Amino acid sequence: MYKILLLICIITVIQSKLKVLRPSNLINEYIDYSISNFGIIPFGHRLMGLVDLAYPRNGCSDIQPTYGAHFILIERGNCSHVTKVKNAEKAGYQMAIIGNYNDDPIESDITMADDGYGYQVTIPSIFIKKKHFTILSEKAKDYQIEDSNDEKIMLLLKFDVVQTDKISVIFGLNVQDGESFRIIDEYAPYYNKLEDQNINYTLVYFMMSFNSTILEINQRDSDCICQNRYCVFDPDGSGIATGRDVVQEILRQTCIFQKYPKKWFSYMDQFNFKCSKPQAYSVCSQQIMEIQGIPKKEIQNCFDESFVDQNTSLPTKNYTNAINILLENQMHIYQVAGMNVFPSVLVNAMSYKGQFSGKGIFGEICNSFLTPPPECSSEIEGYKPPVLEQSIILYVLIITTFVVLFSILVFCLFKKLIKRDGERVTQPQVNEMVSQYIKFYEGKDKQKEGSI
């Protein structure tokens, strides 16, 4: 089981590339870049545009508006990345390119973080090395923003995704964070839309482990289960709620998703609005399951049977020497995938970047299909409906021809049988009528002879 999860959950480092189209000899290599954690990212799409250098260079105040260019180069520092990108969008640019202080490798986990105002930004933004930024900005100094676009730098980039036949989606959630519930609520209609597609969904909830074999940190037993193996910090400080209440709710939600994934979305929506006190999670959960038609006994059985003895691997109620299979799997994914932000989403082991929205996640999933289904037509650039292979078309034609010929044969046989049965029934009747007709006229002739 763990090996399967490992294959699914290892983070694949996909380096998206930025290419200079004009001047062709400016940078004779692809430029690595990292994507920001805010703005709407057009996953799977190509962007091509002209480039300006920002005035002021750091982009921390109003930027001179564009005269037709699409991308803008902005120096790092003096204010947040969100402020820079927000000013770039206000100036009419479609993407911001921010240069680093150094030439350290651009890794997938180096991102421009959201300062809390990222929701105000809709354009994407990227982060590049100092050497590449310097070359681009030095060339961009040769012209002014208002100059002819014929001389400006032109760039091409694509926001890469990992494409497979079977899509893996991991939702990283936090029971105590409203943003997690918002994302799930927004994605629910898209889950229904893609219900028949080959997608594997996995839940990973925010938890910690203070087990002595992992970390030597003392944590209150009341905030954990299974000897501090699965813990959540005390949700209300000096109040009566404990981290254990939260961990147990995580386990209930995991069981509901495992048994009734469609109803889980409705459950989460109701839980978010009705269950605000961790100490009452258990009672509140039972009420919502009753409303949603989720069998409470089945969920409780899933809850109980997920605890197994570490030595025998048999179900146990003795939590002292137990591990929980469902929570253990989540902790394993959490560690292997390097998930350190909640909420988060991984599609085909690639971390979703940009502004969180149900439609955005749907778009990345759609672009991750090797052969996107018709439901994704609105999200795919240059979408073409799936085309049947020639062998399948030939097979369909053969079957269709066989069915048509068989139908004709059956019709002919049926017609022949009807004709034969008709002759069998009608011929004696005709013969009898003819005989009666002859007798009638013979009798009439005799009557004439007698009268003479």
Predicted local confidence at residue 396, as pLDDT:
76
Asked whether the predicted pLDDT for residue 359 surpasses 70, the reply is yes
Bond from prior residue into 343 cis (ω within 30 degrees of 0): yes
C-alpha torsion angle, residues 278, 282, 288, 290 (rounded to 10):
-170
| pLDDT tens string 56-74 | 999 999 999 999 899 999 9
CB-CB contact of 248 with 241 (8 Å): no
How many angstroms separate the Cα of 77 from the Cα of each of 38, 57, 434? 18, 10, 115
Asked whether the predicted pLDDT for residue 227 surpasses 60, the reply is yes
DSSP string across 6-44: HHHHSPP----EEEEEESTTS--SPEE-EE-SSS---TT
- Mean pLDDT score across all residues of the chain: 85
How many angstroms separate the Cα of 361 from the Cα of each of 356, 358, 422? 7, 5, 69
User: What is d(CA 110, CA 452) in angstroms, rounded to the nearest whole number?
Assistant: 131
User: What is d(CA 422, CA 305) in angstroms, rounded to the nearest whole number?
Assistant: 72
The count of residues in the chain is: 452
- Residues pairing with 35 in the sheet: 126
Angle, vertex CA 147, rays to CA 141 and CA 148, nearest 5: 120
Predicted TM-score (pTM) of the model is 0.73
Contacts of 299 (CB under 8 A, 6+ apart): 252, 255, 256, 259, 289
Predicted local confidence at residue 34, as pLDDT:
86
Q: How confident is the model at residue 221 (pLDDT cuts 50, 70, 90)?
A: confident
Side chain identity, residue 187 = Y
Predicted local confidence at residue 12, as pLDDT:
35
User: What is d(CA 285, CA 264) in angstroms, rounded to the nearest whole number?
Assistant: 12
Q: Please, what's the largest Cα pairwise distance for the chain? A: 142
Lowest mean pLDDT among 129-133, 224-228, 369-373, 386-390: 386-390
Asked whether the predicted pLDDT for residue 78 surpasses 80, the reply is yes
User: What is d(CA 147, CA 55) in angstroms, rounded to the nearest whole number?
Assistant: 14
DSSP string across 390-432: HHHHHHHHHHHHHHHHHHHHHHHHHHHHHHHHHHHHHHHHHHH
* Cβ contacts of 301-304, under 8 Å, gap ≥ 24: 302/255, 302/258, 302/259, 303/248, 303/251, 303/252, 303/255
| pLDDT tens string 407-444 | 888 777 767 766 666 666 566 665 666 566 666 666 65
Place of tokens 């030597």: 216
| pLDDT tens string 184-195 | 999 999 999 999
Q: Give the HSE-up count for residue 382: Cα atoms under 13 Å, Cβ half-sphere.
A: 3
| pLDDT tens string 365-414 | 999 999 999 999 988 877 777 655 556 667 777 888 888 887 888 777 76
Check the CA dihedral 242-248-252-255 and report its sign.
Answer: positive
Q: Which of 29, 35, 28, 74 is nearest to 51 (CA)?
A: 74
